[in-house]
Structure 1
Amino acid sequence: MANRVIHLFNGFLNPHGGSESEALALAEQLRAHGEVKLWATSSRSPAALRETHGIERITLGQAARGRLGNAADSPSIPDGGTYVFVGAHWRNRLWPLVVPAPQRLIYVFNTFHPKILPLTSQHPPLLRWPKTEYVFISEFQKTLLDTPGVIHPSPIDIARFTPAAQPHRRSRPVIGRLSRDTLAKHDPEDLALYREWMAAGADVKLQGASCLADQIEANPHLELLPEGARAAVDFLRSLDVFYYRTGSHVETFGRVVFEAMACGLPVVCHRRGGYANSIRHGENGFLFDTTQEAREIMQRLLAQPLLRAKIGAQARRTVESLYSRSALERRAQFYHGHAMA
């Protein structure tokens, strides 16, 4: 009988990271159909994160003992089945040479680093692993990489990310964004927009923005929060409009945009990103190319609460369609189908 276990690998470095969140959400989705084991490929994976989610860390000693059949130590190692790497890869690692080869090898390409493509498609001669099957998280990414593969949107728990139970009753609408706390996630031109929106009567809340503290002056209507200060769903529910543009970082999917849409928020996003394929401008969200376009879109939304509600409701319906039960079933069968045959 074929080994039905799916072994899912990620660096598991950052409890608030998008890649980690995607890996954990994918594991939860796949567990409805079979056994899934989680593995940290980085030696710097925090123990607290591993303990919380039942993640194991592979060491060469473990792998070698398992290969030699040393039952005294009972090492836990990947033992065949389907190996799914989510944003992690096996370059310069010794353990793949001493663990059982997988029956299937799947790489979830959740970022845009073209140099990783040959690293994951060309295996060392001694490895003898099967050909890599690719999963891309957006049409945008697949087109950029020009490589055969399937497209599966990064999994999101839309039963958890839902609109606030009660409509907001505020004199000042709240514009916000959420990201990792790094300058690459922020566009310098947005600082001027934040000042303008506060002057126009809005509050601005930015989580994952402590890196901007020395670039924008303090303001009673500005809140800069470090990464992970509040649970993502709670933070998003405290907003009226979600705004998103990155700096040097390219969002090949942008799961936080979809989480905001799932929470019933109108999203105003820069057009460069995988999320753009799912946003129909003026219907379920807004896309802009220039700072002036962002300024004009936000002026409309701040002046029209009913427009915010209408666009937010359509955003929620879009995400419900994207993550419908039937859609999730089809994606899960991709991972389990061959191994269960």
Structure 2
Amino acid sequence: MPNAVPKPTIHLINGFMNENGGSEQEALHLARLLRDRSDLTLWSPSARCSPELARRHGIRRIGLGAGHRPNGGTFVFVGSHWRNKLWPYLTRAPQRLIYVFNTFHPKLLSLTATHPSMLRWPRTEYVFISEFQRKLLGVDGEVQPSPIDIVQFSPAPQQRPTDGRPVVGRLSRDTLDKHDLDDIALYRAWAGEGAEIRLQGATALRAATGETLANAPAIHILPEGALPAVSFLHSLDVFYYRTGAHVETFGRVVLEAMACALPVVCHRRGGYAEWIRHGENGFLFDSTDEARGLVSTLLNDRALREAVGKQARRTVEAIYSDEALRSRADFYLRGAR
């Protein structure tokens, strides 16, 4: 019997600091794509690595001792980089060096594009999570949408009741740059039209605006991670999304909402906009007035919400079909040893 071909060695590196962080979730989903087809190890270079994530997923802390650092194979950095670390000088160089670049910060391009000659690392290969991001950075590379588990993020098992208030909501990391302060007036307006507003990951918004939202009984503000993302999305009828200073290179949460068959109403600025066909599988807006009108229309038209939500789900199923996922995984396995 011929010897089995050994699986390629892949070291996937991320800070793994925040259980609810998009970068961490992206790394874990990528790990699921690669695990069965490679000898995969998850690594964190950070002292702030989440103990719970490390326990649950077998993540190893990078150290200086033998066996405590990536060694050969393919290095895949997801939202992380190696600079100002000693361990790369003590390990065998990778055959391939891949950066999943899920940020807009041009400074990180210069940090990752070149390496000290004594490292003898190969040329950096970039994976961008949207064409929007790649064009803004002006760098060649692979474009792959951030992976999403569409089995986990799926339509609610039963329809929401028709006799209650329709619910508008959004989900994000709990930082002020994830919010646009102009949205406060929209939340109050939609609540005034009879909707319930649920904002998870918005305590920073409440803190920044004092009593502005505190006395609105139909507006509910939850801290980040208060409910599992799927459970929270299943409680909504309309998903609304706009950020402030933060620019979404992809916007995983928007695609997760679409996977749950929700109609999404989103600011046009972001990588997620590439997948939204306005009026068919979601809605895009440029101004606050446009956002208000679009959501108000959906609040008063259940049939429209359902029709657009079904198209949103079909879109996500096509993006994350088994064939599409296998093709994306092939990129990481190419030429690996």
Q: TM-score range by the shorter chain?
A: over 0.9
CA distance, structure 2, for counterparts of residue 297 and residue 22 of structure 1:
30
2:21 to 17, 23, 36: 17
Secondary structure of the 2:37 match is coil
| Equivalent position of 2:190 in the other structure | 197
| Equivalent position of 2:164 in the other structure | 171
CA distance, structure 1, for counterparts of residue 306 and residue 91 of structure 2:
53
CA distance, structure 2, for counterparts of residue 323 and residue 218 of structure 1:
42
| Equivalent position of 2:102 in the other structure | 110
| Equivalent position of 2:88 in the other structure | 96
TM superposition shift of 1:270: 0.2
Letter matched to residue 336 of structure 1: L
CA distance, structure 2, for counterparts of residue 231 and residue 171 of structure 1:
22
CA distance, structure 2, for counterparts of residue 122 and residue 337 of structure 1:
22
TM-score (norm 1): 0.94
Does 2:43 correspond to 1:39? yes
Q: State the number of aligned residues.
A: 328
| CA offset digits 1:244-276 (Å, max 9, x no partner) | 000000000000000000000000000000000
CA distance, structure 2, for counterparts of residue 32 and residue 310 of structure 1:
37
TM superposition shift of 1:100: 1.1
CA distance, structure 1, for counterparts of residue 48 and residue 215 of structure 2:
35
| Equivalent position of 2:225 in the other structure | 228
| Equivalent position of 2:61 in the other structure | 57
2:275 to 267, 278, 281: 278
Secondary structure of the 1:204 match is strand
2:251 to 236, 250, 254: 254
Letter matched to residue 175 of structure 2: T
| Equivalent position of 2:311 in the other structure | 314
| Equivalent position of 1:264 in the other structure | 261
2:138 to 135, 146, 164: 146
Letter matched to residue 242 of structure 2: R
CA distance, structure 2, for counterparts of residue 271 and residue 193 of structure 1:
17
**Partners of 1:3 and 1:81 within 8 A in 2:** no
Secondary structure of the 2:220 match is strand
TM superposition shift of 1:3: 7.4
| CA offset digits 1:129-187 (Å, max 9, x no partner) | 10011100001001001111111100000011000011100421000000000000000
| Equivalent position of 2:74 in the other structure | 82
Identity of matched residues, %: 61
TM superposition shift of 1:191: 0.3
| CA offset digits 1:67-121 (Å, max 9, x no partner) | xxxxxxxx33212101000000011111111111101000000111111111111
| CA offset digits 1:181-225 (Å, max 9, x no partner) | 000000000000000000000000011011122322232211111
TM superposition shift of 1:34: 1.7
Does 2:327 correspond to 1:330? yes
Letter matched to residue 245 of structure 1: R
Secondary structure of the 1:194 match is helix
The more displaced of 155-164 and 3-12 is: 3-12
**Partners of 1:245 and 1:269 within 8 A in 2:** yes
| CA offset digits 1:283-333 (Å, max 9, x no partner) | 000000000000110111011000000000000000000001111011011
Secondary structure of the 1:19 match is helix
CA distance, structure 2, for counterparts of residue 12 and residue 312 of structure 1:
32
**Partners of 1:40 and 1:56 within 8 A in 2:** yes
**Partners of 2:7 and 2:37 within 8 A in 1:** no
The more displaced of 301-310 and 218-227 is: 218-227
**Partners of 1:2 and 1:339 within 8 A in 2:** no
**Partners of 2:7 and 2:38 within 8 A in 1:** no
Letter matched to residue 274 of structure 1: G
Secondary structure of the 1:115 match is helix
CA distance, structure 2, for counterparts of residue 324 and residue 121 of structure 1:
32
| Equivalent position of 1:130 in the other structure | 122
CA distance, structure 1, for counterparts of residue 330 and residue 28 of structure 2:
18
Letter matched to residue 25 of structure 1: H
| Equivalent position of 2:151 in the other structure | 159
Letter matched to residue 260 of structure 1: A
Letter matched to residue 48 of structure 2: R
**Partners of 1:177 and 1:206 within 8 A in 2:** yes
Secondary structure of the 1:39 match is strand
CA distance, structure 1, for counterparts of residue 323 and residue 296 of structure 2:
38
TM superposition shift of 1:4: 1.4
CA distance, structure 2, for counterparts of residue 97 and residue 217 of structure 1:
54
Letter matched to residue 15 of structure 2: G
**Partners of 1:2 and 1:81 within 8 A in 2:** no
Secondary structure of the 1:38 match is strand
